[in-house]
Each structure stands twice: as structure tokens, then as C-alpha cells.
Structure 1
């Protein structure tokens, strides 16, 4: 059995995937706009890489084409999505450079298109279950890969998604903390819920690059964020690479199983 392409979606600081062999850039047209995807192989497995902010970080978080991106990955036959989010820490126990495999989210955005199902299609009104927004089996793969690669990763956390592109106020971070938020970012929602609507398994690695406003005692600067990215980016890629290499080894051993709960995207989406 041949695996479908593995989707890797990343943002700030992750504008290409150097490990991809024979990369080919492809622009896909969808009902929700265009999406740019780079396809190739990683340890021999097919991978589709998508950078949210475009080349040179030209697209701000509130204008990312989330629906086009997820639809394009579904159209390519992807079933699993590994996401990378660069975040600020709400939990004071987290430090720049820490990795978190989140398991829940808070949606604090205000004006983004949030769903494929706006009531105008033949499927009518659809209410999607998000009791497990981040797929448990895919999360387990990420955590196992992190352990194998020797990079500590926190098992579980709540991603608080803000509208951006500005950073959050101290009051907003206090509100998110009261609601259980662990890390703060600007791109995790609606990406995670759209993947769920599309029948894709989705899991996310959060790379902490700064204390959120009010958690630290200095202003947040892009220079500080880029310094953390420069020293921590490799760890994230090593975790993902270990996961891919493990899958490749499983394939060689003939131990390939397809997700059994994810609906085919053509059935899940209008």
C-alpha cells in the first residue's frame, strides 16, 4: 500500500523545506482561491509542503487563505497534516525554544471565514464535532518522534488564536490564561477546524519563541523572535524528519495503515 502525500504546513521562519527531494512548486485553484504547494519526497515518502505566509512572509495571518490551503491539500489526496506554529508563551513555565504538542484551542479571532459549510451548499448547515481537534494518533506519532530525536516536547496544551497581525495586549493574555490558554498564536484557527471539516487528520507542534505580552517584562521584537527561530528551527525539522523516517521504515516493513476515521475529503467537503 502506498501512503498518500503527507502535508506539512508551517508559518513564520519556515518558508521552505530544504529536506524535500525533487521539489516541484504547484499552484492549485480552488473554490476559495489559489494555494501554492511544493511537492517532493522526504526519506522517500511523498510530501506536500505549504507555507502559510507565502514567500518572504508577504501574507499577514488574518489574510491567509486557510480554506484554499486545506482544500488544496485535500485535492492532492493528503490525509494527514503536520502543522508548525510559532507562538508566545502564556504559561510561565514555558521558555523560548520549548516545543509543545497542543491538544486543544481557543478561538479569539473576529473576522475570518471559519468554515467550508456556510449554509449555501447542498449539504445545508453542518455542525462539526471538534472534541478531538488534534488527532490523538497523529499527536502520538509526533511525541514519539520528538523522544526519538532527543528533543523534549510538552504533551498537551491549549493554543489561543488571536486575530493579529499585532501582538496581544497584556489584558488579552490574562483573559486567555483564565480560559486555560497555554500558548498564543495567530494562525492555528481556522486551519485546525477546516482540516477537521475536510476529514483530514491534523496535529500541530507549537514552537515557543517569546513570552506573551505581560508574561515577560520586555517588549516583543521580531529580532528576538528571529534569534530563537535561528537556534530552534532545526529541532522542529528534526522531529518532523524523524516521524517521516519512521513511516518510511514502516513502509519497508510492510506495516502501513491508513487512518480509519477520517472521511475522504471529496465526501466531507462541498
Structure 2
């Protein structure tokens, strides 16, 4: 039996998924607008890859069409979503290159469309439970893949989502830390909520690329050049974890159908 395609969503520094074979780029029309995806196979399994910011990082985080993206993945038959979030560290114990398997979030955004259930559809107003926004079984797959791949992945972390595209102030980071935030980013919300509303299993790896403003001793401004330098040395660890997860699934599928 053919498995449903696995969705992979990524952002800054992850504009292509080189491991994909037999790739086809498509624009998927949804009620919320079009979403561009790349379909292909990875270790023989069907995969749909979506880069949030578009080609060449042309879409800022506050203008990403999160509803179209998630709706397109659901319409393509995806059931599981693996997300990659490039983040700053709120926790001073985290350093560039560290990986976290997220388990909760803070929504500090202000003006984004946050839900499919805005009252305009036939389902009316719906209140979705987010006790476990990141799916436990999918998180476990990521953690086991990280062990097998030899890349440390911290079990648990709270993602503080800010509006962007500017970086956060030191006061905002202090607020997020008081609320329990471990890392800060600009794209994880509402993506995780929309996946929950669409009935998709969703898990996310956060890659730390810089200390947030006011964290640690450095008073140097945050620059994209510094972030890209960390990405150049750390993105392969993220891809290795994902590769191990997909390979394990492919092996399980072969054994189950053999």
C-alpha cells in the first residue's frame, strides 16, 4: 500500500531539498491562495517539500501565506509534517548549532491570519485543543532519528513566535524568557496551529543560529551574515536527522510489505 506523502517545511537557509529525486515543482491552488511545493521521493518514499520564504527568501515571515501552505499539504494527502525552524536562543545555555525538538509555543505575533476557522466556512467557529501542539509520536521519531544519526537533539523546548521581520528587542526577549520561552523565531506560528486545525501530525526541529538580543555577554548586533555562517556549518545536521527518519520509515515500509 502506498504511504501518504511526508511533508517537510523549512525556512531560512533551507531553500531546496537536494535529497529529493524525481522532483516536480507545482503551484497548488487553495481557497486561501496558491502554494508552491516540490514533490519527489526520498529513500523511495513520497515527499512534499515547501520552503516558507519562496525562492531566494523573497517572502518575509509576516507575509507568508501559512493557510495556503498547510491547506495545500492537506489537499495533497499529507498526514505528517516535519518542520525546521531557524531560531535565536532565549535560554543562555543554548549556543549556535544546538538543536531542539519543540514541545510547546508562545504566540507573540500581532497581525497574522491565525486560523482556518474564521466563521466564514460551513464549519463555523471551532475551538481547537492545543494541549500537545507538536505530535508526541512524530517527536519521538525525530528524537530516535537524531540518536541514530549521531546529532544531539534536546527533548523539549518552547518556541516564542514574534511578528518580524525585525529582530526582537532585549525587553521582548526578557518577557518571553519569563513566560518560559527557550528559542525565538518568526515562522512557527500560526503554522503549527493551522496544521492542528487541518488534522495533520506536526513536529518541529529548532536550529539555534544566534543568541537573541540581550542574551549572553555580546553587545554586537544580530546580522544575517552571522546567521548564514552558522547555517553553513549546521544545516547538514538537521538534514541528517531528517534523512535518518525518512530512511527508517522506508526500511519499515519495505519490511512491512515484503
> Could you state the TM-score of these two structures normalised by the residue count of structure 1?
0.94
Which of residues 231, 248, 269 in structure 1 aligns to 2:233? 231
State the Cα distance separating 1:13 from its structure 2 match. 0.1
Instruction: Describe the SS at the equivalent of 2:256.
Output: coil
Partners of 1:174 and 1:147 lie apart in 2 by 32
Instruction: Describe the SS at the equivalent of 1:254.
Output: helix
State the Cα distance separating 1:219 from its structure 2 match. 1.2
Partners of 2:224 and 2:233 lie apart in 1 by 14
1:194 maps to 194
Partners of 1:75 and 1:122 lie apart in 2 by 18
1:154 maps to 154
Q: CA RMSD in A?
A: 1.0
2:255 maps to 253
Number of residue pairs matched by the alignment: 256
1:267 maps to none
What do residues 104-153 of structure 1 show as CA deviations (whole Å, max 9, x unaligned)? 00000000000000012221110000000000000000000000000001
- 4+ long deviations beyond 6 Å: none
1:31 maps to 31
Partners of 1:75 and 1:60 lie apart in 2 by 25
What do residues 167-204 of structure 1 show as CA deviations (whole Å, max 9, x unaligned)? 00000000000000000000000000000000000000
| Gap runs ≥5 in structure 1 | 256-270
Indicate yes or no: 2:159 matched with 1:135. no
What do residues 194-230 of structure 1 show as CA deviations (whole Å, max 9, x unaligned)? 0000000000000000000000422111111000000
Partners of 1:223 and 1:124 lie apart in 2 by 45
Instruction: Describe the SS at the equivalent of 2:13.
Output: coil
What do residues 32-83 of structure 1 show as CA deviations (whole Å, max 9, x unaligned)? 0110000000000000000000000000000000000000000000000000
Partners of 2:223 and 2:123 lie apart in 1 by 45
1:17 maps to 17
Partners of 1:73 and 1:121 lie apart in 2 by 19
2:46 maps to 46
Partners of 2:159 and 2:123 lie apart in 1 by 30
> Could you state the TM-score of these two structures normalised by the residue count of structure 2?
0.98
Instruction: Describe the SS at the equivalent of 1:171.
Output: helix
